[in-house]
Structure 1
Amino acid sequence: MNRAEFLRIMGAGAAAAAMSNFTSVSQAMESLQQKKKQNNGLIEELSSTLESQEAVVDKPITAIVIGAGARGRTYASYSEHFSKSLKIVGVADINKERKLHLKNKYNLSDEHCFNDWSEVFSIPKFADAVIIATPDNLHYHPCLKALEAGYDVLLEKPVAQSVKECTDILKYAKKYNRIVGICHVLRYAPYFMAMKKVLDAGMIGDIVSIQHMECIRFHHMAHSYVRGNWKSARETTPIVIAKSCHDMDMMRWLVNKPCKSLSSYGGLTLFKRENAPAGSTERCLDCAVEAECPYSAKRIYLKDRRYLYVFDIPDNERNDKKYASLIMDKLRTTDYGRCVFRCNNDQCDHFVTSMEFEGNITGAFSMEAFTATGGRLTCIMGTKGWLKGDMKKFEVTDFLTNKHSVWNQDISSLPGYEGHAGGDFGIVKDFVLAVANQDASYLTSSIDLSIESHVMGFEAEHSRVLKKRIEL
C-alpha cells in the first residue's frame, strides 16, 4: 500500500493524530523500515501534530441538551469553542438552577427551556439533534421519543439498562433512519487512537492477548458509586456497565474480534454497614472518627474540594472560601455527606473478567476501586512485539530489533483536549460531522458499533452473579 492509499483509507487527520509525537523517531524509523511496505505511511506520520477539534461544516448544527448536569454541560460547551460547528438551542432539566445556567449561557428562549425531557417532544421539532445526558434510567424512553420525532441523538453511555433496551434503540435508529452516536469518548482520545493505529498496522504482529485494568481511585469510588448517582446497580446499571462499558468497548475495539465467552468474579467488600468503624455515625460531620477515614466526606469535598460540580460550583472557583457554607449544607442534607458504610449501595468495588475472543485471543479485565491514582493500564501481547501503556504514554517493543518506540503526546494544555484524555470534544466533533452530512460513518461509536461491547458488559455481570462461564 502506498502513502496515498494509506491516507485515503485511514484519513490524513486521523493518521496524523494517532501517530504523532513518537519519541526516538530515528530508532522507530530504523526498525519500521524492516516491516511490511504498508507501514511506510505510518513512518511519515510519526512527527505530525494533532488535528483541530473543530468540525468544518457549512452551517452550525443545532442541538437540545436533555440533562444539564456535568456531562451535558461538557458536550454543550463544544459550542463555546466552535460556534461555527454547533449551536445549543434548547435545554431540559428538572433542576431549575442547571436549566437556568444553560438558558443564560446560550441565550435560550423561554419556550425552548423545559422542566422535563418529555416536554421537548410535545412541540414540533426545532433542532437537528438532541444530546441526552440524563441518568442511566432516563436514556431509553427519551432516546426513543427523539428518534420518533426525527432528531439525531448523541447519547451518553451507557446506552440503556438492558440488552433489550439497547437493541430497541438500534431498531428505532434504523426504522427512522436517524444517527445515534454513543459517548464512548475514549475511542476519540489521541492516546487510544494512536494505539489502535499501531495495532492495525501490525507493529506487534498478530494480537495474542490483552490485559486491561481500570483504576477507579478510592475517593472517586466513594463519590460516584457509594454516595453518588450510581450507587445502586438496580436503579442505574451494574458498575461494569455504568463505569466500565468504556473499557469493554475499548478492549473489543482494540482487539477487533468478537468476544466468544467470558467469566467474571467480584463483589462489594468494604462499603457495607457491618464494616463501619466503632464510634462512626450516619454523617461525617458528626463522626468522632472521621479524621481517621480516607473516605471522609469532609475531607473529600470540604478540605480537598473534589467533585464540587455536583453542588453546581464552577471548577475554576472550587477553592473560593465563599463556598464553604454551601458545601457544609450539602454535607448535612444530601447523600454526599453520608458515611460510606451506611449508604445503601450495592455496586462492586472490585470486578475481574476473563475473556476469549475469536481467533484464540485471550483478554483479562480488572476494575479496581482501591487505587491511589485513576486511569487505565493496558498491556497487549503480539507475535512480533508488545505494547504497554498508562493512558499518558505507551511503549511498543519490537522483538526482532529490541527497538522501543514511545508515544508521549502531552495534550494537557491543548484547547479542546481537556476531558477524558481528549475524547470529550472528539466525539462531539464527529457527531456534528455525521449530522451535517447525514452519514453515520463519521462516527467510530455509532449505535450499531457500540451494542456488542454493552452485551459483553451485561453478560459479564450475569457471569459474576450466576458464577458461571457465559457463551456469547
Structure 2
Amino acid sequence: RPCTAIILRHGGRGGLYGYYATQMPDPLKIVGVAEPLEYRRTACVNNHKIEAANTFTTWEHVFDRPKFADAVIVTTQDRMHYEPTMRALEMGYDVLLEKPIAPSWKECNDILKLAQAKGRIVGVCHVLRYSPFNVQIKAVIESGMIGDVVSVQHIEPIWHLHFSHSYVRGPWRREDLATPSLLAKSCHDLDLINWWMDEPVKAVSSFGGLRTFHKRNAPAGAPRFCMDGCPHRESCIYHAEDVYVNKKRWGTHHIETPDRSEESIRSKLRRGQYGQCVYQADNTVNDHQVVNMLYRSGATAAFSMEAMTSYGGRRTRIMGTKGDIVGDERYLDVATFNDEKRIRWDVEATGQDLSGHGGGDQRMTA
C-alpha cells in the first residue's frame, strides 16, 4: 500500500510534494492537511479528496488526533520546523522535513536524538542529491576516474531578481523571521559538497554581507512602496508592479490572496511586503557570502553564494589527482590526465524530467 502522509502547510513546497503524490499514487497518498489560508487548504482538500476530519487550520491541531497516517510532511517556514517535527516524532510518525532542518544546532540535535530514540525516519529535503546531474558527479568521483579529490570550487548564482523576490521582499528576508540566507538558500550546496567529499570537515571560514539591497543605495526621492509614484519607475528593474503584473518577471504564488486576478495582486502590492522598494525593505540577510572548508584528508572546498548575477544555475569544478570535472547543471565535462581523454555528458539528452531542482524534487518524493 502507499505511504500515507499529512502535509503541514500547503505552500510552495508542500503543494509541490502533494502534486507529485497525485502523479505517483502508488508510493504516496496525502490523507491530511494543516493550512491556515483557506484557499490553499481547500485546494489541497480537493486535490487529494481529504476527509473533513483530517483537515486542519494549524499544525498543532493535527496532533490533537491519534496517529492517522504513516508520515508527516513538514513544509512550514524555517523557524517553524522544530516544534511540529518533534511532536510528530513523539507520536510515532516518520517525517519528511523541508530544508533547513532548524535554525540552531541544538534544535537539529534534538530532532536527531528523538528520531533515534523513537526509531523513526527523518528525511531532509536535500533534493539536489537526487538530481541526475549531481548523482552523475557523485558516480564519477566514486569511480576513481579523477583520482582523489584535491579541491572543489562551487558557486550558486541565485540571480538578482530571484534574490530580490525571496530574500529582500519575501519570507526569507530576515534572519529573525527565517534563517540566514546561506542556510535558507545554500544549505543545498553545502550539503552537496560534503556529500561529494564524503569525509569530515576539520576547519571552516566564512565571510559575507549585505551590499546591494540596502537603504544607502535607495535612489533619491524613491518612496517606500513602488506604487506610491516612484520617480524612477522607468529605469528601475525591481519596480513591483512591473515585476509581478505588467511584465510578469516573477511569479505571484507567495502573494497571499484568494483572488488571483491582476487587480487583487496590485492591491496587495500597494502596501504589502512584495510592493516595497528593494532598497528600503526590512531585509537583513546577506546577498553574498563565501565559505571555505578544509577536510580531514587535506582537500579543500570553496563555495560562493551570489545574489547579483544575470543568470541562475550552479557551477562546479572538482580537481582530482588524476583528472577534473567541470559542470553547469546541464553539461558535465570530465577530463583525465594520463590519456588526455575528455568526456561530455549532457543531462538533457537523457530525456528525463528535469523540472524541480533538476529533477531532484520528484525523485526524492518517489
TM-score range, shorter chain: over 0.9
Residue aligning to 1:159: 101
In the aligned structure 1, how far is the partner of 2:218 from the partner of 2:351? 42
Residue aligning to 2:47: 105
Contact conserved, 1:411 with 1:422, CA < 8 A, in 2? no
**TM-score (normalizing by structure 2):** 0.96
Residue aligning to 1:251: 193
In the TM superposition, what whole-angstrom CA distance separates every residue of 1:158-181 from its partner, at most 9, and x where no partner exists?
000101100100011011110110
The structural deviation recorded for 1:299 is: 2.5
**TM-score (normalizing by structure 1):** 0.75
What letter corresponds to residue 301 of structure 1 in structure 2?
Y
Q: Does 1:422 align with 2:359?
A: yes
The structural deviation recorded for 1:355 is: 1.2
Residue aligning to 2:233: 290
In the aligned structure 1, how far is the partner of 2:37 from the partner of 2:227? 26
Contact conserved, 1:93 with 1:115, CA < 8 A, in 2? yes
Q: Alpha carbons of 1:414 and 1:246: their partners in 2 closer, same or farther (altered >3 Å)?
A: same
Higher helix proportion, which one? 1
Higher strand proportion, which one? 2
In the aligned structure 2, how far is the partner of 1:382 from the partner of 1:313? 51
Match of 1:360 among 298, 323, 341: 298
Q: Does 1:178 align with 2:113?
A: no
In the aligned structure 2, how far is the partner of 1:341 from the partner of 1:301? 17
What letter corresponds to residue 280 of structure 1 in structure 2?
A
The structural deviation recorded for 1:353 is: 1.3
Q: Alpha carbons of 1:412 and 1:395: their partners in 2 closer, same or farther (altered >3 Å)?
A: closer
In the aligned structure 1, how far is the partner of 2:250 from the partner of 2:330? 22
In the aligned structure 1, how far is the partner of 2:147 from the partner of 2:239? 48
Match of 1:308 among 247, 252, 263: 252
Residue aligning to 1:67: 9
> Which of the pair has the greater relative contact order for Cα pairs under 8 Å at 6+ separation?
1
Unaligned 5+ runs, structure 2: none
Q: Alpha carbons of 1:235 and 1:87: their partners in 2 closer, same or farther (altered >3 Å)?
A: same
What letter corresponds to residue 360 of structure 1 in structure 2?
G
The structural deviation recorded for 1:197 is: 0.4
CA RMSD of aligned residues (A): 1.6
Q: Alpha carbons of 1:280 and 1:289: their partners in 2 closer, same or farther (altered >3 Å)?
A: same
Contact conserved, 2:255 with 2:274, CA < 8 A, in 1? no
Contact conserved, 1:60 with 1:86, CA < 8 A, in 2? yes
Residue aligning to 2:336: 398
Aligned length in residues:
363
In the aligned structure 2, how far is the partner of 1:248 from the partner of 1:280? 38
The structural deviation recorded for 1:63 is: 0.5
Contact conserved, 2:257 with 2:265, CA < 8 A, in 1? no
Match of 1:225 among 141, 144, 167: 167
Residue aligning to 2:289: 351
Q: Map 1:31-180; keep pairs closer than 5 Å.
A: 59-180=1-122
The structural deviation recorded for 1:283 is: 1.1
Match of 1:271 among 198, 213, 228: 213
Contact conserved, 1:258 with 1:358, CA < 8 A, in 2? yes
Contact conserved, 1:262 with 1:353, CA < 8 A, in 2? yes
Residue aligning to 2:134: 192
List structure 1 segments (4+ residues) > 6 angstroms apart after TM superposition: none
The structural deviation recorded for 1:273 is: 1.4
Q: Does 1:342 align with 2:286?
A: no
In the aligned structure 2, how far is the partner of 1:193 from the partner of 1:312? 36
Match of 1:299 among 233, 242, 260: 242
What letter corresponds to residue 289 of structure 1 in structure 2?
H
What letter corresponds to residue 395 of structure 1 in structure 2?
D
Secondary structure at the aligned position of 1:290 is classed as coil
In the TM superposition, what whole-angstrom CA distance separates every residue of 1:359-414 from its partner, at most 9, and x where no partner exists?
01011110000001112100000011010101111100111111111111217974
Secondary structure at the aligned position of 1:213 is classed as strand
What letter corresponds to residue 142 of structure 1 in structure 2?
P
The structural deviation recorded for 1:291 is: 2.1
Residue aligning to 2:154: 212
Secondary structure at the aligned position of 2:89 is classed as helix
In the TM superposition, what whole-angstrom CA distance separates every residue of 1:220-264 from its partner, at most 9, and x where no partner exists?
110000000000012211111111100110010011111110111
In the TM superposition, what whole-angstrom CA distance separates every residue of 1:194-228 from its partner, at most 9, and x where no partner exists?
00000011111110000000011000110000000
In the aligned structure 1, how far is the partner of 2:45 from the partner of 2:104? 33
In the aligned structure 2, how far is the partner of 1:211 from the partner of 1:254? 12
Contact conserved, 1:387 with 1:394, CA < 8 A, in 2? yes
What is the percent sequence identity of the aligned residues?
45
